[in-house]
Every structure is written in C-alpha cells, then in structure tokens.
Structure 1
C-alpha cells in the first residue's frame, strides 16, 4: 500500500515510489482541449507559447485579472479542487473569485495534482501535469518567461493581481519587478522569502543543514516515479539561483506601490526530522513574513490562525477575502487603507 508524504520547507510534492502510478494517473486525468491561441469566456485547455504548450484555465469576467500561482509542484486545480472535504462542501478560491472578476490558473511544467485517499479511495495516486515537460530544474526567471509568454499568447488582458502560494511568491515578485506596468496588486500566501535558506543555514548545525538541504533540493524517490517533476532549488541551497534572482530584483527593481496582502501560516510546520528546532525556525519564518509586509507602503499583514502552510486549502474563505480586498483596491484606490487587516 502506497502513501503520500509531504516534503517540508515550502515544497508541495507527493512522493509516489511506483512508476505504475503514472499510467494510472494518466488514464484517469481529464484530457485538456486542443491548443488555442486566444482565451475567451470560461476556458480550460492548452495554449501554445511557441513550440510547446501550457495548460490554462480561466473563468469569470471583469478587471483586474487575477492570476493564481501555485506553490512548488502544484497544478492549477489546487485552487479549485477541495483536497480536505467532499466536493461542493466549501467554495474554493478560483470559483469564488470568478464571481467578482476574471481569474486564471495554469500548470507550470512538471506539476502534479494530489489525491486524498480518504476522499477518493479508488482514485489514482496523483494526477500528472498537463503542460509540456521541460528540462529541470528551472529558475524563477525561467518561470517568469513562461508566464509572460502564456498571458501574451492567450491574450489575457491586464492589469493583473498576482496571487501566489509558497515558492510561487518568488515567481510573482520577480514578474512584478520585470513587468511593473502589468501588475496592479498582489496576495502572498505563506510565500518563500528570498532569504529563507540563508537564515536557515545560519540557524542550523552543519549536520542539520546537510539533512535539510538533502530533503529540499532533490527528491530522487519522486523523480524515479515522475521524471518530469518540477524542481525549484539548486545546490548549494544557500546560493540557490531563484532566490538570488529575487534578491537582485528587490535591490535593483523594487516593487512599485500597490495593494498587497501578506498571509502567513498560524499552525507550525511538522518537524522534517528529529531534533528540528521548531521554535527557532518558526521565529525566522515569522520575521521573514513581516519583512514581506514591508515590500510596499501600506501592505496588510495577517496570520491564518487555523492554517498550516496550505492556507488556500485550510482557510479558502480567508484567501478569497484577501483577493477581493486587493481587487476592490485596484478598482478604487481610495478604498485601500493600511489599517484594515485580513480577518483571521
């Protein structure tokens, strides 16, 4: 009997130690529609970005357009499929946002969809990504280029409100620094700070750091089952390419003033291995989330008290509220005040 295991440290990844799981997932995953250069109305399908295609889904109408950026390994449906409760028991982020503006999500190459065996005991172990695979690992800059090409090829109009979870926060921040005229607002959900690995490296013993780095950089068990799997981090982790790109962008092209909500987890991470200094590491992460709240003047900082790392699954209503606040502020800048904080 095979079980899912979560990789700690801002990495959403299921470990499936059987290659046969891929075939089962392929057979049960919904087949996307043919590639299309123009996205109108409710859409789900593949979009050619120049020699390869990315899976995209969009719903709703209105401006600004909300772009949902999942964390490491997360497919687009992490924003619409409830992994904790039966389907329809709760309103999830993407369908809720579609009631008040246009919203889109997509699969980065190598992502996957997790399956909760308690909710779907007959289902596959996971659903593979629906975008064309590419060589891995890839940096945040590579992923920004993909997103920009996708939005252009699909003719998705700006301005954009970028909503990101976990490592996706590095991507959207770099996107906003690279294309500042396109981004009007942002929501960061327990996102990875560019200095996370530096602070962890300082706080851990050499032995602890070696163990943590080995867990974070490369999961060979997952790659054996899913060779196309997305890989974010490069060794040595304290000199990771993506975090370095964001540090450079923050110094040279800081975010323009915009409505920004930063939400952090309230339930501590499980220890990745015995001896993990949970209190110290949670303190580091909290301080770094506070720093993200200082990226622009007037940002709103909140803690999702009933959530672990996956706030969009644990408390989707909180995420929906944060997105609505930013969308409303883009439509009416006078409505935004720093004093208003997201509800817990």
Structure 2
C-alpha cells in the first residue's frame, strides 16, 4: 500500500506518504535530519515497509510541504507532527525513527507524548550539548562551515533554541530506545570520534531500556552507508512489541 497525502494543519499543508502493510503492529514514523525531507529514507523504506505501516513526511518548507509561519524550532515541529498524525488519522502507538536533527524532534515528541510512543530509534542524532562539548574539538574550518549551514529551515538561533528545549524537557524515558552512532564520521579526528560515540552512549541512558550500537565504517547517513543496521534495529523493536 502506498498513500500520498497533502495534509492541512493549522497554518500550512504537509506532504506525507504512508507505505507498507497494516499488520496490527505500531506505525513507524520517520523523521529526517536538518534540511532533509522524506527522500532521505529511500535506501531503507522498501525493507521497513515490509515490517509495518511506515509514515514518511516533509517538514514545513521542505520537499513538497508548504512553508509554515511558525518558528522553526523543535517544539513547533513536534506540534506540527502531532497535528499531521491526528489529521491523517494515524493512531498511536508509534515507533519513532529520527536521523540527526530529526532525533532532537522525536526525543522531544517522546517526552511530550510518552503514552503514544512504544519505541524510539535515533540514527546518529544530534546531542543536546553538541555545540558546547563537541564542536570546540573540531577544526576552525569545520566550525565555520557548521555554523553557516543553517539556511534551509531553521536559522542558527532557532537550532540553538531547539537544543535548549530538549535540555529543558523531561528527558528520562521508559520505552525501548536504540541509539545508533556513526563510527567513521567525515572530518572527525580520533578524539572527536571517540567523544561523539561517548555522547551517543549517554543519549542511550536517557531511557531505562536504552541500547547503544556503533555502525562501524559508517558516516553520518547510516541509512545510506549501512542500511541493514537501521533496518535490523527497527525489525528488532517491531518483533518485540
């Protein structure tokens, strides 16, 4: 089954696609990284859709979705995702899968609506203290490039506000949580890579049921470099629910 939708929420319309089979398992919700849209999951969507219904969507202003007048912070994006799920009549519970900045949004969703989430998979997601702890270990050139990238959806201040929102949220979870860490990030020194893995491991401890895995030899887009790692993590969660 493939169902494409343009869902009207409060101030805009969001593009979403529902694929897969309704086999009584929870719907899998996929959230892309900063500036990315639903095509970021093309490498794994066919296999994941064999496990259950899967919803991929474009955040406001990206892909086929209309821009939103609301601020581009995680809390606003979580509200928009919630509105999308209600309008599309996609019932909880959900398994949430977030890549990079998408992981920030979905961690916030899981703390905001804990009764709706039965599993969370974070694919090399952004730690809330990335700017303070990890960015200073990178080269000046990397830091400058990093700070200049915020032109696609939220600006730098909105991105910082999103990390602050995550810090201030009630973070301890009680759902199965799988944290996948890229083991070979581009432009990372050995020291930075070790720190990145350590910070990812810390995220796994935000749930009483956390699990931490390193995708060896994978860059930031684990779903492209090591798609089987992402698929297997989702499959293990689906099988145990």
Same fold (TM > 0.5): yes
The answer to whether the 8 A contact 1:217-1:232 is kept is no
Q: Equivalences for 1:184-263 in 2 at 5 Å?
A: 184-200=118-134, 203=137, 208=140, 212-219=142-149, 229-231=152-154, 233-234=156-157, 240-249=160-169, 253-263=170-180
SS of structure 2 residue aligned to 1:281 = helix
1:297 equivalent to 2:208? Answer: yes
Tell me the distance in 1 between the aligned counterparts of 2:44 and 2:154.
25
Q: 1:201 to 1:218 in 2, by over 3 A?
A: closer
Pick the aligned partner of 2:56 from 85, 105, 110.
Answer: 105
TM-score by length of 2: 0.91
Q: Equivalences for 1:48-59 in 2 at 5 Å?
A: 48-59=8-19
Tell me the distance in 2 between the aligned counterparts of 1:256 and 1:192.
17
Query: Shift of residue 266 of structure 1?
Result: 1.6
Q: 1:52 to 1:110 in 2, by over 3 A?
A: closer
1:264 equivalent to 2:226? Answer: no
Kindly name which structure, 1 or 2, has the bigger radius of gyration based on alpha carbons. 1
> Which structure 1 residue ranges, 4+ long, deviate > 2 Å from structure 2?
134-137, 200-205, 211-220
Tell me the distance in 2 between the aligned counterparts of 1:290 and 1:279.
17
Structure 1, residues 295-341: CA drift from partner, whole Å, max 9, x if none? Answer: 11232211111311000011111111100111122x2xxxxxxxxxx
1:45 equivalent to 2:18? Answer: no
SS of structure 2 residue aligned to 1:297 = strand
SS of structure 1 residue aligned to 2:28 = strand
1:95 equivalent to 2:25? Answer: no
1:154 equivalent to 2:88? Answer: yes
TM-score by length of 1: 0.65
Which has the larger share of strand?
2
Structure 2 spans left out of the alignment, 5+ residues: none
Which has the larger share of helix?
2
The answer to whether the 8 A contact 1:137-1:233 is kept is no
SS of structure 2 residue aligned to 1:245 = helix
Work out the number of aligned pairs and report it.
Answer: 239
